Structure 1
Amino acid sequence: MQVTTSEDSSIAGMVHHKIHDYRWTALGMLPHEDPQPRYLRPVSTAATLNFAATLAQSARLWEEFDPTFAADCLAKAEIAWQAALDHPEIYAEYTPGSGGPGGGPYNDDYVGDEFYWAACELYITTGKSEYKDYLMSSSHYLEMPAKMGGTNEDDGLWGCFTWGTTAGLGTISLALVDNGLPASEIQKAKSNIAQAADAWLANIEDQGYRLPIKQAETIESGYPWGSNSFILNMMVVMAYARDFTGNDKYYNGILDSISYLLGRNAMDQSYVTGYGSRPLSNPHDRFWTPQTSAKWPAPPAGIVSGGPNSRFQDPTINAAGLKDTPPQKCFIDHTDSWSTNEITVNWNAPFAWVAAYLDENQGVVITTNYGDVNADGDVNSTDVTILKRIVLRKYNGSYDEKAADVNTDGSVDSTDVTILKRFVLRKIKELPF
């Protein structure tokens, strides 16, 4: 395991930002047939910190099974951390041609979140005060964003973390793994995770197709590249919110979100191969590409595609005549549409995680506590007040729509308010009524 491949000793311990071919290869090419030379791109602070965070976490995970390897992981993580401290501003910036003809730029010119994430993982693994002091002084301390900000391409997008926005990963680790932070701080991390999930539940309630993302406000378009991955990462956080609070409203949010991915969307399209009445068939991949040639295999079941991207970044989607189409319909199931139909590790990983979570919890029966409009476990006057505001269209928060329909007639209206008020005053014995 190497943390530097450079002859320049001044950057010892730094990690190269990426490696890729000199030029893009065509679809339908086996790795051993690739004629392109591969090049290491320069080191970056972001890559070095991502390495440190990942290796620090790996040290914990492998310690029980391979202590020697775990120790090596931790040693390399600490070397990388120190190298990043010594070189805190080596950015992978975007400039014309910075990606090279054979790979994307993966530009990231803000690394405060990467420093926080790495400090969290190193503190949990080592217990050292230097890492604790660093993470507690970070502006990202215990943060779980519902909407991302900053200076990179994630700015203004609904979501929690991506390859370029990583603070939420550190907060999840602090909330999950025993460490030396006070119990009150751990609880704050868990509360912040639940608050982010609450914001996404409000988005679900506010949209006809019941999904947790909305159109972006600060980019020139509505849905970003890999929009499905934003939803999947949100589902991971909603799962933790459910585990931390015991509130099944977050589980319902996961079910709404997976329903969107499996076909309850404006495209009437499952974005997963092999599942749904209209499953994904032609993802952008260099091996699973039967559209390129019949000699290449169809994709196996269980792969998720990036999904709608209203920035029209590939020739195939541009030629499809969708320029004036709503963002949720900016998608084409074609192997050449790399900006809408790509399959990648970084959105199939959370998909595998979410699928496993749903599988583990498939025996859970979600019951409706009628009248518990705010889903806090009690039916009281607060629920009456919220229900009144819902009916008057003055309430913008999340709520349990099924619980609000206390007479189960399929609509939430003034009749439900009257019935719920009578129940709270004990003039009705049970709900639904």
Structure 2
Amino acid sequence: MRLTFLLTLLTLGLVAHAADKPLNLTPGAAIRVNSIGFLPTSTKQATALATAKTFRVLRIDSTGEQEVFSATASAPLQTATTDTRETLRTLDFSAVTEPGRYLIEVPDLGRSAPFTIGNDLWNVPFTTVTRAMYLWRCGTEVTGTHNGVTYHQHACHLADGWLDHVGGGHTRRASTGGWHDAGDYNKYVVNAGVTVGLMLKALEHFPNRISALNLGIPESANTTPDLLDEIRWELEWLFTMQLEDGRVYHKLSSPDFRFWGPAANDKDPRYLAPWGTNATAHFTAMMAAAARHFRAHDAAFADRCLKAAELSWACLLKHPQQIDPDQSAFQTGGYGAPDHSARLWAAAELWETTGDAAVLREFEIRASKVAFSENGPGWGDVNDLGLATYLRSGHTTKESDPRNPALVRRLTDDLIAHADRAVTTAASNSHSRPLGVERQDWSWGCNGNVAGQTLQLHLADRLHPDPRYRETALLALGHLFGRNYHGRSYVTGLGANPPQHPHDRRGEPAWPGYLVGGAWPDGRSWVDELGSYERNEIAINWNAALIYALAAFVEPAAK
């Protein structure tokens, strides 16, 4: 965030620690385990302090507790724990496979959080995290109940948005709808890109697992998959951001981050920011991909998406050099980045939808200069989304493949190398965290990267099946839900001791289903404090990454 945002928070008393003061860090948990649980046949491990020598696993039910397994902890792990600067041990209880509720007990250390073993244990987290997108809806009333608490928001931001900063004078362009972006209430096209992209990839890669799932949103009674209906809420807002010649406004935002409180009470005027090629390319990619997904459910809407995508693609061709919007009137999220990866993704999705050979050539020229990301897709680098579409194209058959075979081989090899390094990283990390490739990587929003990196693992598993890839994707979820230094879930309303004070302007109690940014600059440095926007904020792109990561393990309902 910009310095002005920090100064605003300091003025409001919402920053709990200044730069010259140490973080209020809590000691590391004694026993750290995935508090959601484990699939019956998966690897089951926890991490404990070095004093753990032996441990036992207790099954807990209405009749009490029963020991079902006991074992010796691993030898002390020292060389692989530089992220938390501790000596730790691994507790392996993979032999426990019977579905049920369990906990781990270690002499002199105590007990772990309870967890579940079962086939459908990821269904509730997926539903909760995906429904959180509905709770983010702007411009409408939303309501939901979680763990006995009802969350409600009145219709908000019905005056979006003013044209003062895009040459339209003080007149309003109807631009309601969409999702609030993060801890703030603004709406940004670029961050919508990776968000919609990952959610569509979840539907593309795991349709049999999630298409029939009822999320309890207002559209659940229709025949369209609920996740696709939720995406449509964002797409309808995005249509309002496109100009008649295909250009796309960069964002719709208040001038600063001043307002705190219920969204419906936010009366700060909100303005459209000038257009840019990055936003236009993200818009093109989203609309082109959406056209494919909606084709079987609403052909007219699919046509509308494709027409919008082709219009903005033509605009990009007329403006081959990057154009950045003037955001000098705003102190809110800039979302500025080179537009190369967004153009690449746009070409991939438009080719996949239309089969246009000229668009394929444009994609392959760009793809020849890139590789898969070190940390999975993000708002500033969406190469992975475009490369994933290309490598799993529906235009290929045994008899015909329009793709460049040398490029396909190189990109596939690069993908497999990334997936293999993630497997190696998880195996060498004391908390089985797969992110970081050859280094321990802690950065702003790194929890979103942990979830987003599973795209590479599942894509690799589809191209070159290897059970290690799927297992490593489970380990990523395990880290986010409790196998970490804090021994806590990083997702509000789910798992053990979840965040209670996320950086979220809606206030407390914490709204459910949101992944917080996470620890940095190391694995200890996370705090559950409202003011810690750099570690405890929520954001649509991080939730979308978690939606994708969870979708792979949803147990489909029996027919």
Q: How many residues align?
A: 314
Alignment of 1:357-368 (within 5 A): 357-360=552-555
Q: Give the TM-score taking structure 2 as reference length.
A: 0.52
Q: Which residue of 1 aligns with 2:543?
A: 348
How far apart in 1 are the matches of 2:242 and 2:541?
A: 24
Q: Which residue of 1 aligns with 2:493?
A: 274
8 Å contact kept, 1:23–1:36:
no
How far apart in 1 are the matches of 2:255 and 2:241?
A: 23
Say whether 1:331 aligns with 2:526. yes
Counterparts in 2 of 1:99 and 1:234: CA distance versus 1, 3 Å: farther
How far apart in 2 are the matches of 1:239 and 1:216?
A: 20
* Structure 2 counterpart of 1:201, one-letter code: V
SS in 1 for 2:552: helix
Alignment of 1:113-152 (within 5 A): 113-140=341-368, 144-147=371-374
Counterparts in 2 of 1:146 and 1:56: CA distance versus 1, 3 Å: closer
How far apart in 2 are the matches of 1:3 and 1:13?
A: 10
Higher normalized helix content (fraction of residues) = 1
Q: Which residue of 2 aligns with 1:172?
A: 388
Say whether 1:100 aligns with 2:343. no
> Displacement of 1:215 after TM fit?
9.3
Q: 1:241 aligns with which of 452, 460, 469?
A: 460
Q: Which residue of 1 aligns with 2:422?
A: 200
Counterparts in 2 of 1:73 and 1:100: CA distance versus 1, 3 Å: same
* Structure 2 counterpart of 1:303, one-letter code: Y
How far apart in 2 are the matches of 1:186 and 1:23?
A: 45
The unaligned stretches of length 5 or more in structure 2 are: 1-238
SS in 2 for 1:228: helix
8 Å contact kept, 2:246–2:312:
yes
> Displacement of 1:77 after TM fit?
0.6
How far apart in 2 are the matches of 1:3 and 1:299?
A: 28
8 Å contact kept, 1:197–1:241:
yes
8 Å contact kept, 1:241–1:250:
yes
Counterparts in 2 of 1:248 and 1:144: CA distance versus 1, 3 Å: farther
How far apart in 2 are the matches of 1:137 and 1:241?
A: 23
> Displacement of 1:240 after TM fit?
2.2
* Structure 2 counterpart of 1:27, one-letter code: W
8 Å contact kept, 2:452–2:548:
no
Q: 2:469 aligns with which of 244, 250, 255?
A: 250
Alignment of 1:387-426 (within 5 A): none
> Displacement of 1:144 after TM fit?
4.6
* Structure 1 counterpart of 2:427, one-letter code: E
Counterparts in 2 of 1:216 and 1:247: CA distance versus 1, 3 Å: closer
> Displacement of 1:258 after TM fit?
1.2
The unaligned stretches of length 5 or more in structure 1 are: 7-11, 148-158, 291-296, 311-326, 363-433
Alignment of 1:25-44 (within 5 A): 25-31=258-264, 33-44=265-276
8 Å contact kept, 2:425–2:438:
no
How far apart in 1 are the matches of 2:329 and 2:432?
A: 36
> Displacement of 1:163 after TM fit?
0.7
8 Å contact kept, 2:352–2:395:
yes
Q: Which residue of 2 aligns with 1:15?
A: 248
Q: 1:306 aligns with which of 506, 512, 517?
A: 517
How far apart in 1 are the matches of 2:502 and 2:240?
A: 34
Q: Taking CA–CA contacts closer than 8 Å with sequence separation of 6 or more, which of the two structures ends up with the larger relative contact order?
A: 2
Report Cα offsets for 1:71-114 as digits up to 9, x if no partner.
12111111101111212334437x9x74823x111111x22211
8 Å contact kept, 1:238–1:250:
yes
Say whether 1:56 aligns with 2:288. yes
SS in 2 for 1:210: coil
8 Å contact kept, 2:250–2:279:
yes
Q: 2:447 aligns with which of 220, 225, 228?
A: 228
Q: Give the TM-score taking structure 1 as reference length.
A: 0.66
How far apart in 2 are the matches of 1:259 and 1:361?
A: 21
> Displacement of 1:205 after TM fit?
2.5
Report Cα offsets for 1:385-422 as digits up to 9, x if no partner.
xxxxxxxxxxxxxxxxxxxxxxxxxxxxxxxxxxxxxx
Report Cα offsets for 1:267-289 as digits up to 9, x if no partner.
222201233332222211122x2
How far apart in 2 are the matches of 1:198 and 1:216?
A: 11
How far apart in 2 are the matches of 1:92 and 1:222?
A: 30
> Displacement of 1:178 after TM fit?
0.5
8 Å contact kept, 1:225–1:339:
yes
* Structure 2 counterpart of 1:16, one-letter code: Y
Please tell me the root mean square deviation across aligned C-alpha atoms, in Å: 2.8
> Displacement of 1:213 after TM fit?
2.2
Say whether 1:265 aligns with 2:498. no
> Displacement of 1:47 after TM fit?
0.5
Q: Show structure 1 runs of 4+ deviating over 6 A.
A: none
How far apart in 1 are the matches of 2:413 and 2:389?
A: 14
More off after superposition, 36-45 vs 20-29: 20-29
Q: Which residue of 2 aligns with 1:428?
A: none
Counterparts in 2 of 1:14 and 1:235: CA distance versus 1, 3 Å: same
8 Å contact kept, 2:421–2:438:
no
8 Å contact kept, 1:92–1:106:
no
SS in 1 for 2:347: helix
Say whether 1:163 aligns with 2:392. no
8 Å contact kept, 1:116–1:140:
no
Q: Which residue of 2 aligns with 1:383?
A: none
SS in 1 for 2:538: coil
* Structure 1 counterpart of 2:275, one-letter code: V
Q: 2:312 aligns with which of 72, 80, 90?
A: 80
Q: Which residue of 2 aligns with 1:399?
A: none
